[in-house]
């Protein structure tokens, strides 16, 4: 069992070289070419991140996420890009995340869990890879873990109340919580010094070892083929309490 009071040295494991899934590569290539046309010299860098750069990508469940870094947020060019984005969204690309270089660097300490996730699972397509060597402050990671845990707990409780047990509403609650839950678990692993880039189910395995406790609610929630029902939500609420207690003493 991991001692939360200990401060282990980081396990520095080189991130694997990732590739964009064959399922979405054609649409990504077309979108990037359109980016170069629409943004021209305002385009600094572009990267694909998330499930699209892993072996678990599935068009039934996932969308392709694109980070775009620009010199400035020129309104006219953004409008031009909007038309291209609308077409790409119909083909499975999520609305892109667009930031200037300055805004990108200024956000690492505000949203460390999101950037940790992107850092571990991205493929740079254009320009300099701004995420290759990004570092995070442990106190920032811990604080966001704590905040997101409590926010997720409240959202799930309210969702259960509003669902009145309706199966489809319950499924939507779990779908909406999945990404946040994975980021929290990734932050917990990171705080122990483990820099491995775990996919969701192996990440749950790892956190079960850290907490010396089974996490069936987390496991079912992060699995698209898992059991998404009120029993799972009840287990998940209980496990969020244990995770919050673990974070409190880190």
Tokens 């997720």 locate to 152
Number of neighbours of residue 127 by Cβ within 10 angstroms: 13
For residue 5, what pLDDT is reported? Answer: 47
> In what helix (H) or strand (E) does residue 98 lie, and over which residues does it extend?
strand 97-100
For residue 12, what pLDDT is reported? Answer: 47
3-state class of 198 per DSSP?
Answer: coil
> What superfamily does domain 25-126 belong to in CATH?
Beta Polymerase, domain 2 (3.30.460.10)
DSSP designation for 92? T
The overall pTM is greater than 0.85: yes
For residue 179, what pLDDT is reported? Answer: 95
For residue 43, what pLDDT is reported? Answer: 94
Long-range contacts of 13-18 (CB under 8 A, 24+ apart): 13/195, 13/196, 15/119, 15/120, 15/197, 16/197, 18/53, 18/54, 18/121, 18/122, 18/123
For residue 15, what pLDDT is reported? Answer: 64
Number of neighbours of residue 47 by Cβ within 10 angstroms: 23
DSSP designation for 71? S
Half-sphere exposure of 130 (CA within 13 A, CB side): 24
- pLDDT lower than 50: segments of the chain: 1-2, 5, 7, 10-13
Domain map (residue ranges) of the chain: 25-126, 138-248
């Amino acid at each position: 069992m991991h001692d939360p009071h200990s401060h282990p040295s980081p396990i520095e494991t080189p991130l694997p070289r990732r590739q964009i899934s064959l399922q979405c590569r054609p649409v990504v290539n077309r979108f990037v070419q359109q980016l170069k046309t629409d943004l021209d010299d305002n385009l600094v860098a572009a990267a694909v991140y998330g499930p699209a750069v892993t072996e678990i990508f599935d068009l039934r469940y996932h969308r392709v996420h694109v980070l775009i870094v620009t010199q400035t947020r020129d309104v006219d060019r953004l409008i031009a890009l909007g038309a291209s984005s609308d077409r790409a969204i119909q083909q499975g690309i999520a609305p892109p995340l667009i930031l200037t270089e300055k805004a990108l660097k200024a956000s690492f300490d505000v949203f460390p869990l999101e950037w940790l996730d992107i850092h571990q699972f991205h493929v740079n397509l254009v320009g300099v890879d701004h995420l290759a060597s990004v570092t995070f402050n442990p106190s920032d990671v811990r604080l966001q873990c704590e905040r997101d845990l409590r926010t997720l707990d409240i959202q799930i409780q309210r969702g259960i109340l509003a669902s009145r047990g309706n199966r489809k509403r319950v499924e939507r609650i779990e779908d909406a919580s999945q990404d946040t839950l994975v980021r929290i678990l990734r932050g917990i692993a990171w705080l122990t010094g483990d820099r491995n880039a775990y996919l969701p189910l192996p990440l749950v395995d790892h956190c079960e070892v850290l907490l010396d406790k089974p996490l069936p609610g987390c496991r079912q929630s992060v699995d698209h083929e898992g059991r998404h029902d009120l029993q799972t939500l009840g287990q998940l609420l209980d496990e969020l309490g244990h995770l919050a207690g673990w974070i409190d003493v880190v």
